[in-house]
Amino acid sequence: MFHLPCPTSVRWGLFLLSSICALLSCHGTVCDAPWASEPFTMRPFLKFFTPGGLCPHRSADATANTLRTLLTAELRGQTFAQGEITSALSGNVFNIKRRTPLVFHFSGPTGVGKSLASSLVARALFTDRHKQTGVLCGLLHKKMRPYEMRIKDAHPNQLAAAMAEVEAEIALQLQSCHRSLIILDDIERLHSSFLNFLQGPLHEHYPVASYRNQDGIRKEVSTRDAIFILISDLNEDRLSPELDRKTAIEYIRSKAKQRWGDLKVVNFIQRTVPFVPLSHDELKQVAESTLLHLEEVLIEYSSGRWKGKLTWKSQVVENVVRVAQAERAGENARGVVTWVEVEVKDRLLEAWEEEHGRETQDTDTNTPKGFVFSSFNLNINVDGHVRIEKYGHNQLHSETHFKSKPKDL
């Protein structure tokens, strides 16, 4: 007698087959799978096969260690912020008993490291990138500034549509990766009525983000395992390097209440992290590390053909900070980095091109063809005038005149 197979066995067999085929089809990754942007019935189960749902992430210990390393290497100053971010991630994100997403509020002046710190959290968590975009799989970084004008004096229906649009984008991101990092930048520009769209995703008892599918049916995606970072510049004029962290947090919360009233969403923020302006010495550290990075830039630009050194006098760092503060007032650390990028980098690359062209045409040199062993000294005076000086050939300049920087970056 013929017996039909057990329906449960059939379902599990199809489930296992489709899961294995899906994983094999993307060579062990999930960011670029053809179904990564479209929901299908098996996707909720795949999180048991791939760490982090459809987007692999590091383990708790690896994330914490990687984050500490990145913050120490790339974020200048902000000692309190570094500790607060690391402890929150270590103690909360990977806790299986969590019932709500982890919500940060990074607030401080322009150019002090808020966006940089957010990106470092993403790099610590996730390893894979989308092949087409290069964006980290598991990251949604959304600028809220465009919505400022869009919702100004908008009809209630238009406001609701804009709110639903942002929430749907969050929901679809979480459907692909349930442990996603959602960064909402420039939230200080949003009216309280619009910011209220976060009440569902950040809810204390039933946190979900919703969207409507092609048939207009409302779907919900849990936000429990997500991390939200809200970025603003609230009360930036009152924050200073000397301010203690408790007072800084009080200033930010006071300004948030003034800006959004008793909006319930504000109460869902678990960690308010102040980013204060960098001190003069910290800005010098930024200038130093940015100049050091130019050596790496030149090595990459030359495809490894440059074999020299990049040097400068100690006074150059001080001059960079002073000129950047004068020409890019109010931009703090970002102003220093931008000034070096705009004023120094291109001149250095031009000097390389000139020297590379000269040496490759010099038939009397014993230098391997295509390689340049000359070094460059950066001369930047108090007025910001930049001069690139070539010196040496297979030799270093006198240490008594120039401060040589290490090649190991």
Map the chain to HEC letters. Answer: CCCCCCHHHHHHHHHHHHHHHHHHHCCCCCCCCCCCCCCCCCHHHHCCCCCCCCCCECCHHHHHHHHHHHHHHHCCCCHHHHHHHHHHHHHHHCCCCCCCCEEEEEECCCCCCHHHHHHHHHHHHECCECCCCCCECCEEEEECHHHHHHCCCCCHHHHHHHHHHHHHHHHHHHHHCCCCEEEEECHHHCCHHHHHHHHCCCCCCCCEEEEECCCCCEEEEECCCCEEEEEECCCHHHCCCCCCHHHHHHHHHHHHHHHHCCCHHHHCCCEEEECCCCCHHHHHHHHHHHHHHHHHHHHHHCCCCECCCEEECHHHHHHHHHHHHHHCCCCHHHHHHHHHHHHHHHHHHHHHHHHHHHHHHCCCCCCCCCCECCEEEEEECCCCCEEEEEECCCCCCCCCCCEECCCCC
Chain region(s) in the chain for CATH 1.10.8.60: 280-404
| Model pLDDT for residues 245-289, shown as the tens digit of each residue | 899 999 999 999 988 988 889 999 999 999 999 989 999 999 999
Q: How confident is the model at residue 393 (pLDDT cuts 50, 70, 90)?
A: low
Report domain 60-274's class: alpha beta
Q: How confident is the model at residue 366 (pLDDT cuts 50, 70, 90)?
A: low
- pLDDT value of position 339: 95
Just give the CATH number of 280-404: 1.10.8.60
Give dist(CA 214, CA 110) in Å, integer: 40
Per-residue pLDDT averaged across 217-238, rounded? 90
Q: Which residues of 125-157 are buried (b: 16+ CB within 10 A; e: fewer)?
A: bbbbbeeeeeebbbbbbeebeebeeebeebeee
Among 34-48, 153-167, 210-224, name the most confident range.
210-224
Per-residue pLDDT averaged across 101-110, rounded? 93
- pLDDT value of position 13: 52
Tokens (6 digits) for 407: 């090649």
- pLDDT value of position 372: 82
- Considering only CA atoms, give the Rg of the chain: 26
- pLDDT value of position 244: 87
Q: How confident is the model at residue 363 (pLDDT cuts 50, 70, 90)?
A: very low
Q: In what order do the strands lie in the sheet with 271-274?
A: 139-143, 181-185, 227-232, 102-107, 271-274
Chain region(s) in the chain for CATH 3.40.50.300: 60-274
- pLDDT value of position 367: 52
Weakest-pLDDT range from 119-128, 232-241, 278-287, 329-338: 232-241
- Phi/psi for 368 (5° steps) reads -55, 135
Overall residue count recorded for the chain in this entry: 409
Q: How confident is the model at residue 40 (pLDDT cuts 50, 70, 90)?
A: very low
pLDDT greater than 70 at residue 381: yes
